[in-house]
C-alpha cells in the first residue's frame, strides 16, 4: 500500500477480467467492513494498493482467488499476519459470501505438493473433496466456510503473533499469500453458483 494522489487498486500478473473484478470485490468488502476488522476509516484514503500475482507470463482468470486477495488486503490493512501453513480458494461477493469454485481436487493436490496441510474451502465444495484420494485426505485439515469473516478468523494470526516457519506471511514483503493464487491450476469453473436475489457482486 503506497501513498498516492487518489485511491486506486493496481493489479498485475496478466490477470483476466473476471479475476480483476474479483480483486475489486475483495477490496470493496474489506473497506465496507473496516470497523468490524479494526481498520481505521481513513486507512485507504489516498492510497494505492498493488496486488501482484506471480508467474506474470502466465495468463490467469476466474474468481477462485477472491478469498485469497481479500485475506491479503485485510492483512495489510490490519497488520495481522497470515498463517504460513494454510491455502485457500473461493469466490467472494460484495456481501462477503464465499461461493464454490471448480478444480478442487487439483487445487488440493497442488497445496499438498507445496507442503500445505491446512485448506480453507467453500462449504458448497465439501462434496468435491471426496474426489481427493482417501489416503491423502487423511493427512489434510479442511475448513469449510460460507462467509468471508470465517476465512479471516482461520487465516489471520492474532495481533503480534509471528507466522509459522513454513512461510513468512507478512503481506508487506514481496510474495506471501497471493503466491498461492498463482499456484492454482486453471481449471474451469464448473460448479453452479447459488446466489440470493439481489446479491451484489
Task: Report, as residue numbers or ranges, the catalytic residues.
Answer: 64, 107
Phi, psi of 97 (to 5 degrees): -75, 140
DSSP state of 124: G
**Three cell numbers, residue 139:** 493427512
Antiparallel, parallel or unpaired: β 47-52 and 2-3: antiparallel
- 43 CB burial (10 A radius; 0-12, 13-18, 19+): middle
Would you say 172 and 91 are in contact if contact means Cβ atoms under 8 Å apart? no
Which pairing describes strands 98-99 and 91-92: parallel, antiparallel, or unpaired? antiparallel
Amino acid at each position: 500500500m503506497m501513498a498516492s494522489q487518489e485511491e486506486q487498486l493496481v493489479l498485475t500478473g496478466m490477470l483476466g477480467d473476471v479475476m480483476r473484478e474479483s480483486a475489486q470485490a475483495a477490496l470493496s468488502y474489506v473497506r465496507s467492513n473496516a470497523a468490524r476488522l479494526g481498520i481505521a476509516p481513513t486507512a485507504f484514503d489516498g492510497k494505492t494498493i498493488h496486488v501482484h500475482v506471480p508467474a506474470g507470463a502466465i495468463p490467469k482468470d476466474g474468481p477462485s482467488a477472491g478469498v485469497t486477495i481479500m485475506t491479503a488486503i485485510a492483512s495489510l490493512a490490519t497488520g495481522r499476519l497470515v498463517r504460513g501453513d494454510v491455502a485457500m480458494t473461493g469466490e467472494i461477493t460484495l456481501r462477503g459470501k464465499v461461493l464454490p469454485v471448480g478444480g478442487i481436487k487439483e487445487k488440493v493436490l497442488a497445496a499438498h505438493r507445496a507442503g500445505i496441510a491446512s485448506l480453507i474451502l467453500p462449504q458448497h465444495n465439501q462434496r468435491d473433496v471426496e474426489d481427493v484420494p482417501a489416503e491423502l485426505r487423511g493427512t489434510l485439515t479442511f475448513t469449510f466456510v460460507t462467509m468471508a469473516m470465517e476465512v479471516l478468523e482461520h487465516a489471520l494470526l492474532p495481533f503480534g503473533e509471528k507466522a509459522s516457519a513454513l512461510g513468512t506471511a507478512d503481506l508487506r514483503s514481496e510474495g506471501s499469500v497471493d503466491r498461492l493464487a498463482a499456484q492454482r491450476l486453471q481449471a474451469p469453473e464448473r460448479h453452479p453458483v447459488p446466489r440470493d436475489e439481489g446479491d451484489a457482486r
